[in-house]
């Protein structure tokens, strides 16, 4: 008995030693490991080490900044934003960090918090132009437009040559509906900084919104004359030409944007364009190259996109292999788990699909794609109420998020949405394409739980895709109409769920 106790004590000594280690020394050791992983390009490993460091010292703001930057590098914008705000809380006297956190909060619609960050900077530096611009953006988001304009005018007074001040002023005037003052502000931005690409892009955007196609094109071209390798300018001109149907010119600038991106993200965008144009072989070649690259996050996205194509083309086994390969490397990847769930559901394994989507949601509760896949699986299982709860989660946590069009046929919104207050409008599609969320809600509404007269008919999930549609219309070729809405037009909606069922039965979906 004494020997067993002695053996257990000896085994416990290393653990006790680790527990008794100076927390600052342990923090510094984990931070050094994280820095080494970043230098070696092993970003996911660096994230683990930085998180370990923060367990020993949660108030280490500098480490939180490193963690936020690393999250951003791997494409995890939500965690990057969270850690950046925490870092700013830990370092309240770092004014530059307060501005970074405030601008991040703006992107998430946290306008009051953004204004608070700006006020913190302005209390120390009342003439800080960046803080005045940040505060104006936050006030505009709160619809306090007169105060926002006053802040911007103060910014202009403090630095009359800052194009960003005039750009913000023009944007706020547009919100107010004063197009004349908005035009003047955008033109003042260009006059104040003729070599500013951002000023040219803002003026081009205004002219495009005003229907001045020629003026918009001229400003976009001038922006590229100033900076031929500018990522946003090339991308903007590419989208302009693609939207105008001038695809050869658009592709040229889309390729230039891919070259300017500095990583494989531009190639992913170019691949999506090729898919939209029906050039699957060109898209596959790009995706295969990215999937074989060193950028782990982008390689994962490319692999999952290839799985989508394999599944679409009837090669479900190949799609499953790609998804399983991703999960072997990253078992908690929410997008891969959602894709796995869709494959299992399409194969009839609804229990396995449910387990996969629940893991996806648990691994990333902010993932709109995970919640969306969970809603689809719940709907396939006949759990309509749970499906609605899952499908409203993306629209509330990620405003503006919209899933890729799938093969579901649309049904009209319910005439009386009061039975589910706030649910149906929150899920409204926010792009020109047919919303699977809207269609899925229609299925929920037309299921026996929502309409006792409707048959309980399940359907196969037809896509394992990214939730982000490209900014150009889908092709109108008949071969793609089975999986999406042709020509980028919103589909005709029927007046009753019965009409949807009749169309579905005729189409065989």
In the chain, how many domains are there?
1
pLDDT at 342 over 80: yes
Place of tokens 């004014």: 95
Q: Decide if 385 is inside a domain.
A: yes
The pLDDT of 346-367, averaged and rounded, is 86
pLDDT at 55 over 80: yes
Q: Decide if 87 is inside a domain.
A: no
What CATH number does residue 392 fall under?
A: 1.25.40.10
pLDDT at 337 over 60: yes
Q: Decide if 39 is inside a domain.
A: no
Helix-helix angle 213-226:231-243, to 10 degrees: 150
Q: Which residues of 136-147 are buried (b: 16+ CB within 10 A; e: fewer)?
A: bbbbbbeebbee
Q: Decide if 345 is inside a domain.
A: yes
Q: For residue 36, report the phi and psi dihedrals to the nearest 5 degrees.
A: -65, -40
Q: What is the percent of the chain with per-residue pLDDT over 90, rounded to a whole number?
A: 44
pLDDT at 367 over 90: no
468: pLDDT confidence band, cut at 50, 70 and 90?
very low
pLDDT at 102 over 50: yes
- For 375-413, the pLDDT digits (tens) are 888 888 888 776 666 666 554 444 433 333 333 333 333
Q: Decide if 223 is inside a domain.
A: no
Closest CA to 467 of 376, 363, 353, 380: 376
92: pLDDT confidence band, cut at 50, 70 and 90?
very high
pLDDT at 476 over 50: no
425: pLDDT confidence band, cut at 50, 70 and 90?
very low
The answer to whether 240 and 220 are in contact (CB under 8 A) is: yes
Task: Provide the pLDDT for residue 466.
Answer: 38
**Token pair of 266 as six digits:** 């531009």
Task: Provide the pLDDT for residue 332.
Answer: 86
Distance between CA atoms of residues 421 and 410, nearest Å = 21
59: pLDDT confidence band, cut at 50, 70 and 90?
very high
What single string gives the DSSP state of each residue in 433-456?
A: SPPHHHHHHHHHHHSTTT-TTS--
Query: By mean pLDDT, which of 79-88, 169-178, 423-432, 445-454 is the weakest?
Result: 423-432
Task: Provide the pLDDT for residue 5.
Answer: 52
- For 2-31, the pLDDT digits (tens) are 555 545 444 444 444 445 568 889 999 999
Top pLDDT among 500 and 124 is at 124
Query: By mean pLDDT, which of 20-24, 114-118, 265-269, 462-466 is the weakest?
Result: 462-466
- For 236-279, the pLDDT digits (tens) are 999 999 988 999 999 999 999 999 988 888 899 999 999 999 99
Q: Decide if 357 is inside a domain.
A: yes
The answer to whether 203 and 186 are in contact (CB under 8 A) is: yes
Q: What is the percent of the chain with per-residue pLDDT over 70, rounded to a whole number?
A: 72
Task: Provide the pLDDT for residue 238.
Answer: 93
Query: Mean pLDDT, the chain, as a whole number?
Result: 76
Task: Provide the pLDDT for residue 156.
Answer: 87
- For 172-205, the pLDDT digits (tens) are 888 888 899 889 999 999 999 999 999 999 999 9
498: pLDDT confidence band, cut at 50, 70 and 90?
very low
The pLDDT of 212-235, averaged and rounded, is 93
492: pLDDT confidence band, cut at 50, 70 and 90?
very low
Rounded to 5°, angle at Cα 218 from 216 and 223: 95
Segments in 40-94 forming alpha helices (H): 43-56, 61-73, 77-90
Give residue 389's domain range: 332-415+423-509
Q: Decide if 40 is inside a domain.
A: no
Q: Decide if 277 is inside a domain.
A: no
93: pLDDT confidence band, cut at 50, 70 and 90?
very high
* Burial of 416 from C-beta contacts in 10 A (0-12 / 13-18 / 19+): exposed
- For 282-333, the pLDDT digits (tens) are 999 999 999 998 777 888 999 999 999 999 999 999 999 999 999 998 888 8
């Amino acid at each position: 008995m004494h020997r067993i106790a002695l053996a257990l004590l000896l085994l416990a000594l290393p653990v006790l030693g680790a527990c008794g280690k100076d927390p600052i020394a342990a923090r510094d050791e984990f931070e050094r490991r994280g820095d080494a992983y970043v230098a070696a390009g092993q970003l996911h490993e660096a994230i683990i080490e930085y998180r370990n460091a923060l367990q020993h010292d949660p108030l280490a703001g500098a480490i939180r900044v490193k963690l936020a930057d690393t999250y951003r590098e791997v494409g995890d914008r939500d965690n990057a934003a969270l850690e950046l705000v925490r870092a700013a809380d830990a370092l309240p006297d770092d004014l530059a960090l307060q501005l970074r956190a405030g601008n991040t909060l703006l992107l998430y619609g946290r306008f009051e918090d953004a204004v608070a960050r700006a006020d913190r900077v302005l209390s120390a530096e009342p003439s800080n132009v960046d803080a005045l611009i940040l505060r104006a953006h936050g006030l505009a988001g709160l619809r306090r437009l007169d105060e926002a304009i006053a802040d911007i005018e103060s910014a202009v007074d403090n630095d009359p040559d800052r194009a960003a001040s005039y750009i913000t002023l023009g944007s706020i005037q547009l919100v107010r509906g004063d197009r004349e003052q908005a035009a003047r502000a955008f033109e003042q931005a260009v006059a104040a900084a003729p070599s500013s690409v951002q000023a040219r892009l803002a003026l081009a955007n205004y002219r495009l919104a005003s229907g001045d196609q020629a003026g918009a094109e001229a400003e976009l071209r001038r922006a590229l004359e100033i900076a031929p390798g500018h990522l946003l300018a090339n991308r903007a001109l590419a989208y302009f030409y693609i939207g105008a149907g001038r695809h050869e010119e658009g592709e040229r600038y889309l390729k230039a944007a891919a070259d300017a991106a500095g990583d494989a993200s531009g190639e992913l965008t170019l691949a999506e364009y090729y898919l939209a144009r029906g050039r699957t072989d060109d898209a596959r070649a790009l995706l295969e190259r990215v999937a074989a690259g060193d950028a782990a996050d982008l390689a994962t996205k490319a692999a999952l996109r290839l799985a989508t194509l394999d599944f679409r083309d009837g090669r479900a086994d190949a799609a499953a292999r790609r998804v399983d390969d991703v999960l072997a490397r990253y078992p908690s990847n929410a997008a891969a788990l959602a894709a796995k769930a869709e494959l299992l559901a399409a194969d009839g394994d609804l229990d396995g699909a449910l387990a996969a989507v629940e893991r996806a949601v648990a691994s990333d509760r902010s993932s709109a794609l995970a919640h969306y896949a969970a809603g689809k699986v719940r709907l396939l299982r006949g759990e309509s109420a749970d499906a609605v709860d899952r499908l409203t989660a993306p629209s509330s946590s990620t405003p503006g998020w919209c899933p890729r069009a799938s093969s579901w046929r649309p049904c009209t919104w319910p005439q009386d949405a009061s039975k589910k207050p706030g649910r149906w409008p929150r899920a409204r599609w926010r792009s020109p394409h047919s919303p699977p969320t809207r269609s899925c809600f229609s299925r929920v509404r037309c299921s026996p739980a929502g309409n006792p007269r409707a048959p309980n008919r399940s359907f196969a999930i037809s896509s394992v895709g990214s939730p982000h549609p490209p900014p150009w219309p889908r092709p109108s070729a008949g071969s793609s109409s089975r999986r999406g809405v042709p020509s980028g037009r919103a589909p005709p909606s029927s007046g009753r769920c019965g009409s949807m069922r009749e169309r579905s039965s005729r189409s065989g979906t």
